[in-house]
Chains A and B, each alone.
Chain A
């Protein structure tokens, strides 16, 4: 079971490699990837350096080109594919079938991993991407239960990668347009969700208000932890009831069920967080390296102390195994 870790910049890449990642995933400095944030991602020079560093330590480098190009910007995506392949990236993580089609015009067997943004949740969908684009692996959306994931891993025509840790997206990835509804920019088109340029914090004395493009996402009293106004994680009114109508600021942590994931033949665990700091990447990579080694080599489960330790790094300081457990759904 491989450990796939996020690298939003060169320093994070070093930390991930040094702490035991089997592969790191990066993005280019443009909207072709789903973490198109200011100050993140790699220039051509950094990619070359990063690949050299990683390959020397037997770690692979994946590049996410996983947003959906609109026709007018099509060449930005194909140029990015050319750049990544020519620089020696090991694998591309892709969601759009047009981009996959383009990769196949260049090479019949270049490794393509189906991005979580393609929202492929079932056998026939995986058959589709396998048969028509020869994908090698698929990253599953965070919507399936553990039983469903296990079953799929056994029957799928491709390797299966699942999210293990990090920020929790509650919607089926690639199928959520809430961000463009509110701001005009979405994960699919711009590689952003609830983009920072639209965020406004207003200090109203006893309360702190967070807004996205003018709309109130949440209000925090002084003793509350004020999280980033990701639009699905605010407090809203439904039938006069004030609640986290969609989700609370909670993170995903699947270390509890790692033995089950291992048994079902999952090929890789993915850690979310290209937007997080190098120190975070180091800590999380180390913890997951140890956990995977324990489970796969010594056949034991992960001690609760390790799981709890990771909890401190989580958004909102709370973790869940999310949709893997039916009760969350």
Chain B
């Protein structure tokens, strides 16, 4: 079952939807640069908060065609926590179109894609923990599975045979902060003592959300609107071959800062395609990151195995 790396058989690189709230200019600049990297698959759209509207629907479609023209596979991601009817309406529109593949982050998206006879990607927020669940969603049109962040290699290993025989593509996060929770409450607004309905779009001020530390200074979480992320950046970049040989088809990068994400994708592309072996520490990051990767090794997610 294990995949051997050859020139024709290599893992793909994907970049997930940007979890943070950026300005229209920042998004366009980011995707223009990303289009020039060796990324294979780009997920776009707003997955966290429907109030973030720096990008209109037409803007996202413009980004989509820009990426498509550059030879990238484009996937439209959908909102994770659906509360308002307007959100469901917008999600329905996305899942009914068939120009692009959609990433379902809620069962509502699965339902609409399925009834529209459209294939879909199950995002990490869909809880698929066993073969029976996986088989069921495959019957309903799932073609790719972004594995839940808290599952590690021993959890996934007994599922791989079924995954391969059903022909489901697999995707696992190798870089970026992990989405760990969603709430009705906006934690960014709460931090600034603002009501959610008048949040003044405070999350636009922090490119990568807000760090939450313990009273002793240890990192804990990253506040990003209604989403809570891991404070530490999940980093399995050094294990990319191991993941591919395990059966992971697509290595997922979750954006951090825009420039740093481009730098990481360029590094990862170089390592996979040109067989270059520069040190990870040579990546010209603008920010400092604290790393973790415990979930893959079946321990606490916040721990780092190096």
Contacts and interface: CB of A to CB of B under 8 A. Distances in A.
A144 B215 contact: no
Interface in A154-202: 170-172, 174-178, 180-184, 186, 188-189
A125 B108 contact: yes
B149 interface: yes
A239 B186 CA distance: 16
Contact of B108 (A128, A132, A242): A128
A55 interface: no
Contact of A71 (B131, B136, B196): B131
A219 interface: yes
Contacts of B112: 124
A63 B90 CA distance: 36
B132 interface: yes
B191 A241 contact: yes
Given A101-B136, A125-B106, A237-B212, A176 B181 contact: yes
Given A125-B82, A178-B228, A238 B191 contact: yes
B258 interface: no
A217 interface: yes
Given A70-B129, A98-B132, A219-B215, A239 B210 contact: yes
B305 interface: no
A132 B127 CA distance: 16
A96 interface: yes
Contact of A329 (B92, B136, B149, B185): B185
A215 interface: yes
A87 interface: no
A125 B109 CA distance: 8
Nearest to B81: A172
A109 B131 CA distance: 23
B230 interface: yes
Main secondary structure of the interface of A (DSSP, over half): mixed
Interface stretch (A40-48, A294-302, A320-328): A320-328
Interface string B172-198: 000000101111111100110001110
A328 B220 contact: no
Interface string A203-237: 00000000001011111000000000001101111
B129 A69 contact: yes
Interface string B207-235: 00011111111101101000010100000
A279 interface: no
B88 A323 contact: no
Interface stretch (B5-13, B19-27, B277-285, B296-304): B296-304
A246 B228 contact: yes
Contact of A125 (B107, B158, B230): B107
A318 B206 CA distance: 33
A287 to B, nearest CB: 26
Contact of A245 (B134, B197, B212, B302): B212
Given A132-B136, A238-B212, A238-B223, A176 B129 contact: no
B97 to A, nearest CB: 16
A148 interface: yes
Interface string A109-144: 000000000111111110111011000000000111
Given A72-B155, A132-B136, A181-B180, A237 B214 contact: yes
A183 B140 CA distance: 34
Q: Is the interface of B mostly helix, strand, loop or mixed?
A: mixed
Contacts of A246: 183, 185, 187, 212, 221, 228
Contact of B155 (A70, A174, A215): A70
Given A125-B108, A329-B184, A237 B213 contact: yes
Contacts of B158: 71-72
B83 A143 contact: yes
B200 interface: no
Interface residues on A, range: 35 or more
B188 to A, nearest CB: 9
B150 interface: yes
A239 B150 contact: no
B1 interface: no
Given A72-B158, A171-B228, A213 B300 contact: yes
A329 B211 contact: no
Contact of B110 (A128, A235, A245): A128
B184 A323 contact: yes
15 contacts: A96-B133, A101-B136, A122-B87, A122-B106, A123-B108, A143-B81, A177-B150, A180-B301, A188-B150, A216-B215, A232-B181, A236-B221, A237-B212, A246-B221, A322-B184
Interface of A: 68-72, 74, 95-99, 101-102, 118-125, 127-129, 131-132, 142-145, 148, 151, 170-172, 174-178, 180-184, 186, 188-189, 213, 215-219, 231-232, 234-239, 241-243, 245-247, 322-323, 326-329
Given A128-B114, A181-B302, A245-B191, 17 more contacts: A70-B130, A98-B133, A119-B106, A125-B111, A128-B108, A143-B184, A171-B228, A172-B184, A177-B150, A177-B180, A177-B301, A180-B300, A181-B301, A189-B150, A238-B212, A245-B190, A245-B221
Interface of B: 80-85, 87-88, 91-92, 106-112, 114, 125, 127, 129-134, 136-137, 140, 148-151, 154-155, 158-159, 178, 180-187, 190-191, 195-197, 210-218, 220-221, 223, 228, 230, 294-295, 298-302
